[in-house]
Amino acid sequence: MVDFFSQVKYLCPFREGIVMSKVVVSVLGKDRPGIVCKVSSVMARYGCNIEDISQTVLQGEFGGMFVVSLPQGLSQGELSSILEKDLRPEGLQVMCKPLEGEGPGEKQINVEPFVVVSIGRDRVGLIAAISCIMYSYGVNITNLKFINRTSAFPDKTITIYEVDVPEEVRLAEFVESLRKKAQELELDITVQHKRIFEETCRI
Amino acid sequence: MLSEGEVLQLLQMVKNEHLDVRTVTLGVNLFDCISDTASGFTKKIREKLLRVGENFVSICNEVGERFGIEVVNKRIAVSPLAVCGGNFSPLELVEVARTLDNVAAEVEVDFIGGFSALVEKGMTPGDKALIEAIPEALFHTERVCSSVNVASSRAGINMDAVYLMGRCIKEAALLSRERDGISCAKLCVFANIPQDIPFMAGAYLGTGEPDAVINVGVSGPGVVRKAIDRALASTPRLTLGDLSEIIKRTAFKVTRVGEIIGREVASRLGVSFGIVDLSLAPTPNVGDSVGEIFQSLGLKSIGVPGSTALLALLNDAVKKGGAFASSHVGGLSGAFIPVSEDLNIATAVEKGYLSLEKLEAMTSVCSVGLDMIAIPGDVPAETISAIIADEMAIGVINKKTTAVRIIPVPGKGAGEKAYFGGLLGEATICEVAHKGCSGDFIIKGGRIPAPLQSLTN
């Protein structure tokens, strides 16, 4: 077994009071055992601390997203080329970008979480149509899933949008717009507050 | 982040299995409307109900829309009118019922309950006037519901009231003979009536309740049935213990839905949240039936031997799952077996699987009692009283709520069909064996004493 920590190049960069820059790294490639191990080992070797991580696998393709804080002396460009050099030969595509904090002009808005589910036959443009309506109301998609043919709904595709609806949006109007579009697309659409799912499915 | 299983499960329950909130009932206290004159009383009732109930239905609809769960019925329950209108004559009380009916139509609720009296130990002149007014009150109104509590485990059975109610039911049926005695579908005779029932016809607001309160009745027999079917399809060798666990978990979800919606409606209306009534309430639709659960669990039909045991299992599991899901539980809480309101149970009567006697046996373990049973129109009042007395005895001795909502269909006999329409459904008229053999017992009157609260064997 390789002891990656013996190879750490920068010593303890996480001292209090030091503001570190953060970068977002995305990794794509054919799913197999060892992808997270490879990416995180390279990061550890160069003293990058992983602060957040999420991965998903769609039709055998791995997609991972890492938020890492850089040690002093290591720039985003340097990390990018290190990852590129180490991971490209493994068939993994890497992209780095600085983590954008909240802008000075951006104000927090109050939102309410809803779950929108559309059920219907698969066709081009379903997600575009629904998500564009959401966009026009300033509704942000926080999680999105597309499921093909479940036992409950065979021959149908189901899209589950978890969304944040700004408080000032008139819910009935938003729902009506979604319904109208869904009717055009022969979709069945439901909009429900997220709490109903959380409280009935979880204790 | 929700899992797709969580989202799809609830969606399936709503779309394919009739998950809804059967009723949100707004309880309104009318003691502050008491007046010397009937006109003063009705004026105050009108003002108060319009004030408290003005936005009730629209709020229920908004909340239902927000959570994607339909609130099927919106109802109002008021203080027992025999108490707060105890100084009026039967004629004046019929006027009060008309006022309730008009206000109910104005605020667009489906039913208004509380044309009620509590007479388990004795009757005041007000109670007698109200019972006398019931047939006319129900005949002249569409939405008013009436209930009379004639027995309790602490007081025993008021047999004078039982006799009176037998006659009252006959009279109510005769008045509404053009519609197969439909008035009787809005009249319930109880033992141990709870103060916070959201379901009709028994809903009224008890004397220990707040000024205004939201009580919720959940539904979900279709959801329970499908959960059983799915479990048995994937694991055919499940035991009744395993299946009881599945019913419990399903009842948890169904009740939780009622709890969330009830709390939200109460908070928007600015009134207290009372209870969730953990009931499996069927409708006359395929897939929304308690009777179908009996078939899913292996009986050929509700009514065959094994039905009482199965109902006991079902009722217990619903209560256990529901009690865990709700902060406050009340009302009738259990599985209903209303004959005309459940397509499958109505069919069981039609095919001869289910008799009045078996129904009575089953009420010893279900949540309410003899419910929505059509009987021949020529059954004498004394026999109806005797059927009520038997049912009350089951409730009093077992310390549970029991009730009788029975419809002697004028001009029709056993085997014919009675049609009530809507949620009330239709039913084949049940044979009543040995009618006319109980009169000498019933006319004796008096009180059957309360049972011992110990020596419970």
Question: ω before B433 within 30° of 0 (cis)?
Answer: no
**Contact across the interface for B257 and A198, Cβ inside 8 Å:** no
Count of C-beta atoms within a 10 Å radius of residue B7? 22
Domain assignment present for B77: yes
Angle (deg, nearest 10), helices B125-139 and B90-106 = 50
Count of C-beta atoms within a 10 Å radius of residue B236? 7
Mean pLDDT, rounded, for B15-23: 87
Q: What are phi and psi of B265, to 5 degrees?
A: -65, -45
Q: Are B29 and B211 in contact (CB under 8 A)?
A: yes
- Residue B143 predicted with pLDDT over 90: yes
- Residue A16 predicted with pLDDT over 50: no
A45 vs B: CB within 8 A? no
What is the number of structural domains in chain B?
A: 1
pLDDT digits (tens, 9 = 90+) for A50-107: 999 999 999 899 999 999 999 988 999 999 999 999 999 999 999 999 998 766 666 7
pLDDT digits (tens, 9 = 90+) for B367-419: 789 999 999 999 999 999 999 999 999 999 999 999 999 999 999 999 999 99
- Residue B28 predicted with pLDDT over 80: yes
Question: Who's near A161: CB < 8 A, 6+ residues apart?
Answer: A115, A116, A117, A118, A130, A131, A134, A141, A143, A144
Query: Could you give the CA distance from residue B164 to residue B185 in angstroms, rounded to a whole number?
Result: 17
pLDDT digits (tens, 9 = 90+) for B35-70: 999 999 999 999 999 999 999 999 999 999 999 999
Q: CB-CB: which of A115, A145, A196 is closest to B260? A: A196
Location of each CATH 3.30.70.260 domain in chain A? 4-98, 111-201
Q: What are phi and psi of A62, to 5 degrees?
A: -90, 135
pLDDT band with cut points at 50, 70 and 90 for residue A14: very low
For residue B217 the two structure tokens come to 């009745």
Count of C-beta atoms within a 10 Å radius of residue A47? 20
> Please, what is the average pLDDT of chain A?
87
Query: Could you give the CA distance from residue B301 to residue B362 in angstroms, rounded to a whole number?
Result: 14
Q: Which residues of A touch B4 (CB under 8 A)?
A: 145, 147, 158, 160
Q: What are phi and psi of B6, to 5 degrees?
A: -65, -45
Domain assignment present for B248: yes
Q: Which residues of B touch A188 (CB under 8 A)?
A: 15
A193 vs B: CB within 8 A? yes
- Residue A10 predicted with pLDDT over 50: no
Tell me, rounded to whole angstroms, the distance of Cα B250 from its chain centroid: 22
Query: Could you give the CA distance from residue B73 to residue B85 in angstroms, rounded to a whole number?
Result: 27
Nearest to B315 by CA among B363, B260, B262: B363
Domain assignment present for B11: no
Query: Could you give the CA distance from residue B358 to residue B216 in angstroms, rounded to a whole number?
Result: 30
Query: Could you give the CA distance from residue B118 to residue A106 in angstroms, rounded to a whole number?
Result: 63
Q: Which domain holds residue B46?
A: 19-447
Domain assignment present for B70: yes
Q: DSSP 3-state assignment of A73?
A: coil
Output the CA angle B20-B26-B32, nearest 5 degrees. 175
Domain assignment present for B152: yes
Query: Could you give the CA distance from residue B41 to residue B21 in angstroms, rounded to a whole number?
Result: 33
* Cα distances (Å, whole numbers) of residue B373 to B210, B221, B427: 34, 20, 8
Task: Find the residue in A nearest to B17 (Cα).
Answer: A152
Query: Could you give the CA distance from residue B371 to residue A121 in angstroms, rounded to a whole number?
Result: 44
For residue B380 the two structure tokens come to 């004498």
The shortest C-alpha distance from A165 to chain B (Å) reads: 12
A150 vs B: CB within 8 A? yes
List the CATH number of the domain containing B250: 3.20.70.20
**Contact across the interface for A117 and B7, Cβ inside 8 Å:** yes
Query: Could you give the CA distance from residue A129 to residue B435 in angstroms, rounded to a whole number?
Result: 68
Q: For domain A111-201, is the CATH number 3.30.70.260?
A: yes
Q: Which residues of A touch B233 (CB under 8 A)?
A: none
Domain assignment present for B365: yes
CATH fourth-level superfamily of A4-98: ACT domain (3.30.70.260)
